[in-house]
Chain A
Amino acid sequence: MARAATLEDVGSNAEDIVAHLDAHERKSMLRFITCGSVDDGKSTLIGRLLYDTKLLYDDQIATLEADSRRMGTQGEKIDFALLVDGLAAEREQGITIDVAYRFFSTERRKFIVADTPGHEQYTRNMATGASTADVAVILVDARQGILTQTRRHSFICQLVGIRRIVLAVNKMDLVGYARERFDAIEADYRRFAEGLGFESIVAIPISALEGDNITTRSTRMQWHNGSALLPYLETVKLDEAKADAPFRLPVQWVNRPNLDFRGFSGTIASGVIRPGDEIVVAPSGKRSRVKSIETMDGPLDAAATGKAVTLTLVDEIDISRGDLICGGASPAEQTDQFAAHVVWMAEDGMLPGRQYILKTDNTSVSGTVTDLKYKINVNTLERQPAKTLDLNEVGVCNFSLAKPVAFDPYKENHRTGSFILIDRLSNATVAAGMIDFSLRRAQNVHWQSLDVDKKVRATAKHQRQCVLWFTGLSGSGKSTIANLVEKRLADMGRHTYILDGDNVRHGLNKDLGFTDADRVENIRRVAETAKLMADAGLICLVSFISPFASERRMARELLEDGEFIEIHVATPLAVCEKRDVKGLYAKARRGEIKNFTGIDSDYEAPAAPEIRVDTTTRSAEDAAADIVRFLEEGGYLGL
């Protein structure tokens, strides 16, 4: 089992070594966490595993032996705890999150152990270490039996979804390897853990210090029929990919080396995918089929849970980072409100109502806790009413998000059901969350791709959407003509809306002044709003001086071809100033208004407007009639 021992048997024959390597390369990997406080012998157990699997080098063993004599607690024997307890400096560092990862391997498996020392921060550290663990080894001192902390460890394991528990009853050497003691502790534990719903609980009597039932079955406990600890860890079944689990690929990165390739990169959270499989994208609801699974080693026939892949699709559909590609028959739920279990990890308590950044496997969204339903006492598992969650507390909360996210309940999929909360100011990770269920039941009925587009909306109104953009000097007659056009269109039963200074400056843009930057922003917002109106299928009339060609071009480019109709109300400056309906020209001439278009600020007349109106030769009524005729002839109205 120890890797070095067997390799020594391998001859120097290169083929033998290669064969041996091939076997090693096909090992599986198990991640586990050890739970227990210092007194339970956790460090001794990990040190023992490292030592017995021959992971240590001679120089490290020499150091260990010297340290054991100098600082150890085991007399002349090796103090394995020194291997993992670390340097004095390390303890003094005051690392806030204290999870150490250790590695060892045997012939069959590579192991990653999450080791979470420390009593104070226990819940936070343990939740962190347990989040990636396949199995938890819960240590119990045979002299003490099941304690409050055993219950706490078990609860946290259950909370983060560990389904396989090893109850390691340690220090059997100190109770004379007594079977009765072990049996009583096991029975106690099983009674307690019944309600936690673990898939399996395996109890093993051990002595980490003496090496009993660690790598091989102990001769001192012949009464124990089960396997020793390490053989169990080597053979315990992993949660392997299930072929019929719903396919989930959180998209991390859109891969676009050139115009001919568009791939979607991410790590498969569950299920299997093959070329030809139908997929549906959350949140857009768009559907397509997988064209290929690309890797540097060539395209794959299939890929499953845990694999980092790049998919290409048959259709060109819009997918970006943060989206979730799902199997066609099993789209994920989407919600902007859900209930979740939360472990609070920051010194500053949780504040319901405060905005946090919620980060999932591949996307971030702004969210708030709308309701803290209760907190859970990790020692007694009692539910208690609470107004806030403090460091290391666990609670159940309702969340509200700024936009919907696609998810699965945590118990079904850890990868698509988990999230962290990030403080907006410090950027610290302040909590870990596990989604229970959506609070919007109605949305569980699956959405379809939004086939209702602007064409459908416009057709329902018997028109073609467009934006009539009136530009011209102050007093040129823009608003007068626009109002007349709208009245005529309304008479014809068309659906319209006017955007002008009056209804925009008082609401949407009331925060903007008249600096250059604000003027540009003013027009940008108006253009974006007009675009939304067009998307709604409306005929939108915009009446703004909009003196600069660049802003009008920007508006034109926001819209599709044929949607932007520029109308230059080309009344000469002299005529406008003579009319001076609002007395503004007079004020500008007196210098009371700065940057007045036509006086001390330029008006850039459109070079090629769709329509030019000359109000010196045509009345406003006639001009409006001309514009409506233009729309009729252009096919905007006759549908």
Chain B
Amino acid sequence: MTTNDSARLDDLIGRAERLADASGLSLSTVSRKLFNDGKGLARLKAGGQCTVKTLAAATERLDALEREMAPARAQAPKRTETMSASIDSGASRAATDPLTMTHLDRLEAEAIHIMREVAAEAANPVMLYSVGKDSSVMLHLALKAFYPSKPPFPLLHVDTTWKFREMIEFRDRIARERGLKMLVHINDEGVRMGVGPFTHGSALHTDIMKTQALKQALDAGKFDVAFGGARRDEEKSRAKERVLSFRAEGHRWDPKNQRPELWSIYNARISKGQTIRAFPLSNWTELDIWQYIHREKIEIPSLYFAAPRPVVERDGVLIMVDDERMPLGANEKPLKEMVRFRTLGCYPLTGGVRSTATTLPEIIKETLLTKTSERQGRVIDHDQAASMEKKKQEGYF
């Protein structure tokens, strides 16, 4: 190699270093682009040699690279360290920068990761679908996780026969429109016994028509994993719930056999008789759910939006008269009031709140400013002290 060549080599190294500095690319990246070898530049700097032909080729690539980087630098002279590496024209807005993950992006990716992992490991998974907003988000995430395939599992709705009529219509329409397999299970024995919230009380009704019905459906379908939409922020006792929650035979939650969950590694191996409840929304809060519904334009039942609805006030709770099965007291007369529902369930057990919020932003604003927690409208929670805890032990969630 001549002195001239050696000077050209020094020039190349200097230019490459300046480019790395200015662009935020690491020297090894630049080196890879020039020599197809991440350590090439370092070797040359340390006195290594290369052929004249290689030098010429690298110089040519460096010319191109400098041209490519120039306009990007001109547009964004003060790039931060994390932004700098994106070498496209820089015109994209922050939200679409592939390197920046918002909290919703991270929650979405985590939920999708969990769904894919569980679907890949489970023998016969199913997704519990309650028609509510959390189920709507979970279903949306499932559609995203497996796109363009359909989710590789059916949905399962446990119908207590006392759900709001609109919930059933919404459920059937969504399943039809999305081409999803929707399994519906009703506890026929409970129906034969005439179980209902008005005649048997909320606790017994929920136990027979929901908790027992769910167990029946999971046993009948021989499902080893059931996705649920529960979140850790819903209830103090859920703060320690795993993403994969292991149930012993009879669906009992078994606190001694819960497993540590490190990183994003999930141990979904089960022994005979064991089943798993998988909660991909574990780390979401109620606000996250609403924000995500807003961002992704996810359709939810109109019961969440305020509208004039026939209600009676009982023990301070506004109950909607959804069908003729609702027994009315002598002094009770349904009144049309502007109400909406913060959670959806059996209509006799779900209290409405007076509201004028008819759009999603208005609902979210109300949610943000609200002074009472989400579950307050649920009649079943007031039934027994620590009732959620007990229900979890029994297999309800």
Q: Nearest-CB distance from B137 to chain A (Å)?
A: 14
Selected contact of B265 from candidates A95, A296, A361, CB within 8 Å: A361
CB–CB B103/A357 < 8 A: no
Answer whether residue A519 sits at the interface, using C-beta atoms and an 8 A cutoff.
no
Contacting pair B109 A89 (CB below 8 A): no
Count chain B CB atoms within 10 A of each CB in A10, A109, A295, A296 and give the residue with the most: A296
Question: Counting CB contacts under 8 A, is A182 at the interface?
Answer: no
Let me know if A43 is at the binding interface, CB within 8 A: no
Q: A103-B285, A303-B98 are in contact. Are A7 and B369 (CB under 8 A)?
A: yes
Q: Which residues does chain B contribute within 8 Å of A487, judged by CB atoms? A: none
| A131 and B116 in contact, given A8-B369, A18-B361, A57-B373 (Cβ under 8 angstroms) | no
Q: Is A306 an interface residue (CB 8 A)?
A: yes
**Chain B interface: which of A24-32, A564-572, A581-589, A611-619?**
A24-32
- Report chain A residues within 8 Å CB of B264: 132, 267, 361, 415
Q: Which residues of B contact A426 (CB under 8 A)?
A: 271
Q: Is B166 an interface residue (CB 8 A)?
A: no
**Interface residues of A: mostly helix, strand, loop or mixed?**
mixed
Contact between chains at A25 and B291 (CB < 8 Å): yes
**Judging by beta carbons under 8 Å apart, are A304 and B372 in contact?**
no
Query: Which one of B25-33, B301-309, B345-353 is at the interface?
Result: B25-33
Within A396-428, the residues touching B (CB, 8 Å) are 414-415, 418-420, 422, 426-428
Whether A124 contacts B260 in the complex (CB less than 8 A), given A265-B116, A306-B106, A307-B98, comes out as yes
Contact B239 A308 (CB under 8 A): no
User: Complex Cα distance A131/B104, Å?
Assistant: 20
Please encode chain A, from 81 to 93, with 1 for each CB lying within 8 Å of some chain B CB and 0 for all others.
0001011011001
- Report yes or no: A427 in contact with B267, Cβ–Cβ below 8 A: yes
Is A37 interfacial (CB 8 A cutoff)?
no
Q: A17-B365, A89-B389 are in contact. Are A240 and B99 (CB under 8 A)?
A: yes
Chain B contacts of A301 at CB under 8 A? 88, 98
Tell me the bound Cα distance from A103 to B281 in angstroms: 13
Interface 1/0s, chain A 4-18, versus B by CB < 8 A? Answer: 100110101010011
B102 contacts A by Cβ under 8 Å: yes
Question: Is B64's beta carbon under 8 Å from chain A?
Answer: no
Determine whether A100 belongs to the interface, using a CB cutoff of 8 Å to chain B.
Answer: yes
CB distance from B23 to the nearest CB of A (A): 10
Instruction: Say if the beta carbon of B232 comes within 8 Å of chain A.
Output: yes
Contact yes or no, B236 A419, CB < 8 A: no
Q: A256-B149, A427-B269 are known contacts. Are A26 and B285 too (CB-CB below 8 A)?
A: no
A375 to chain B, nearest CB (A): 19
Whether B63 sits at the interface, judged by CB under 8 Å, is no
A68 → B minimal CB distance (Å): 15
Residues of A within 8 A of B361 (CB): 14, 17-18, 21
Q: Is the CB of A89 within 8 A of B102?
A: no
With an 8 A cutoff between CB atoms, is B100 at the interface? yes
Instruction: Output the nearest chain A residue to B149 by Cβ-Cβ distance.
Output: A257
Query: Is the pair B233, A422 in contact by a Cβ cutoff of 8 Å?
Result: no
Q: Which of A89-109 contact B (CB under 8 A)?
A: 89-90, 93-103, 105, 109
Question: CB < 8 Å: which of B28, B102, B389 contacts A25?
Answer: B102
Shortest distance in angstroms between A351's beta carbon and chain B's nearest beta carbon? 19
| A95 and B258 contact, Cβ closer than 8 Å, known pairs A29-B106, A103-B283, A294-B147 | yes
Q: Report B114-167 residues with CB < 8 Å from chain A CB.
A: 116-117, 119-120, 143-150
B7-48 interface bits toward A, Cβ cutoff 8 Å, 1 = contact, 0 = none: 000000000000000001110110010001010000000000
Q: Mark A233-267, 1 if CB is under 8 A from B, else 0.
A: 00000001111100000001101110001010111
Q: Return chain A residues, CB-CB under 8 Å to B285.
A: 103, 105, 110
Q: Does B252 contact A (CB under 8 A)?
A: no
Which of B112, B237, B359, B376 is in CB contact (< 8 Å) with A87? B237
* Alpha-carbon gap, A429 to B266, bound state (A): 9
- Is B326's CB within 8 Å of the partner chain A? no
Q: Is the C-beta of A280 less than 8 angstroms from some C-beta in chain B?
A: no
Given contacts A57-B370, A90-B237, contact A255 B267 (CB under 8 A): no
Instruction: Return the chain A residue nearest B93 by Cβ.
Output: A26
Q: How far is the CA of A28 from the CA of B104 in the complex (A)?
A: 8
A445 interfacial contact with B, CB 8 Å:
no
- Tell me if B335 counts as interface (CB < 8 A to partner A): no
Interface centre among B239, B255, B389 (most CB of A within 10 A): B239
Partner of A29, one of B29, B103, B269: B103
Given A29-B102, A102-B239, A103-B232, check contact A93 B255 (CB 8 Å). Answer: yes
- Does A21 lie within 8 Å of B364, measured CB to CB? yes
Whether B109 lies near A267 (C-beta < 8 A) is yes
B interface size (C-beta, 8 A): 87
A330–B288 Cα distance when bound, in Å, is 37
Query: Smallest distance from the beta carbon of B319 to chain A beta carbons, Å?
Result: 20
Determine if B260 and A101 form an interchain contact, defined as CB atoms under 8 angstroms apart. Answer: no
CA distance A252 to B265 in the complex (A): 11
- Contact present for A295 and B117 (CB under 8 Å): no
* CB <8 Å contact, B143 and A128: no
Tell me if B174 is interfacial: C-beta within 8 Å of chain A.
Answer: no
- Is the C-beta of A272 less than 8 angstroms from some C-beta in chain B? yes
Q: Are A87 and B119 in contact (CB under 8 A)?
A: no
Q: A561 to chain B: closest CB distance in Å? A: 32
Residue of A nearest to B119 (CB): A253
Nearest-CB distance from B183 to chain A (Å)? 21
Q: Given A303-B98, A329-B38, A428-B259, A60 and B373 touching (CB < 8 A)?
A: yes
**Contact between chains at A307 and B105 (CB < 8 Å):** yes
The distance in angstroms between the C-alpha atoms of A19 and B106, with both chains bound, is 21
Given the interface pairs A18-B361, A29-B103, A422-B269, the reply to whether A415 lies near B263 with Cβ below 8 Å is yes
Contacts A109-B103, A427-B270; A100 near B240 (Cβ below 8 A) = yes
Q: Which residues on the A side are within 8 Å of B144 (C-beta)?
A: 295-296
A contact residues around B224 at 8 Å (CB): none
**Contact, CB under 8 Å: B146 / A428:** no
Nearest CB of chain B from residue A539's CB, rounded to whole Å: 41
Partner of B368, one of A7, A87, A90, A253: A7
Q: Is A170 an interface residue (CB 8 A)?
A: no
B287 at interface by CB-CB < 8 Å: yes
A359 proximal to B (CB < 8 A): yes
Q: Which residue of B lies closest to A272 (CB)?
A: B98
Chain B contacts for A243, CB-based, 8 A: 24-25, 29, 84-87, 99
B260 touches A128 (CB 8 A): yes
Residue of B29, B98, B239, B364 most packed against chain A (CB within 10 A): B98
Give the distance in Å from the alpha carbon of A308 to the alpha carbon of B147 in the complex. 11
Residues of A within 8 A of B26 (CB): 244
Which residue in chain A gives the minimum CB-CB distance to B270?
A427
Query: Are A96 and B368 CB-contacts (below 8 A) given A131-B263, A244-B85, A300-B98?
Result: no
A7-B369, A252-B117 known; A244 vs B25 contact (CB < 8 Å): yes
Please report the C-alpha to C-alpha distance between residue A86 and residue B389 in the assembled complex, in whole angstroms: 12
Cβ–Cβ < 8 Å partners of B120 in chain A: 252-253, 321
Nearest residue (CB) in A for B266 is A359
A27 and B282 within 8 A (CB)? no
What residues of B have a CB within 8 angstroms of the CB of A142 in the complex? none
What chain A residues lie within 8 Å of B232 (beta carbons)?
101, 103
| A546 adjacent to chain B (CB < 8 Å) | no
Question: When A and B form their complex, which 10 residue pairs have the shortest distance between CB atoms, in order from nearest?
Answer: A243-B85, A29-B103, A308-B112, A58-B371, A110-B103, A302-B98, A100-B239, A131-B262, A244-B29, A257-B149
Interface residues of A (CB under 8 A from B): 3-4, 7-8, 10, 12, 14, 17-18, 21, 24-29, 57-60, 84, 86-87, 89-90, 93-103, 105, 109-110, 112, 115, 124-125, 127-128, 131-132, 240-244, 252-253, 255-257, 261, 263, 265-267, 272, 294-296, 300-308, 310, 321, 329-330, 345, 357, 359-362, 414-415, 418-420, 422, 426-429, 432
14 cross-chain CB contacts under 8 A: A17-B364, A27-B103, A57-B372, A57-B373, A87-B389, A89-B386, A99-B260, A103-B283, A243-B99, A272-B86, A305-B101, A357-B269, A414-B263, A429-B267
**Other 7 A-B pairs with CB < 8 A, given A21-B361, A103-B285, A427-B271:** A7-B365, A27-B102, A94-B256, A244-B25, A266-B113, A307-B109, A432-B262
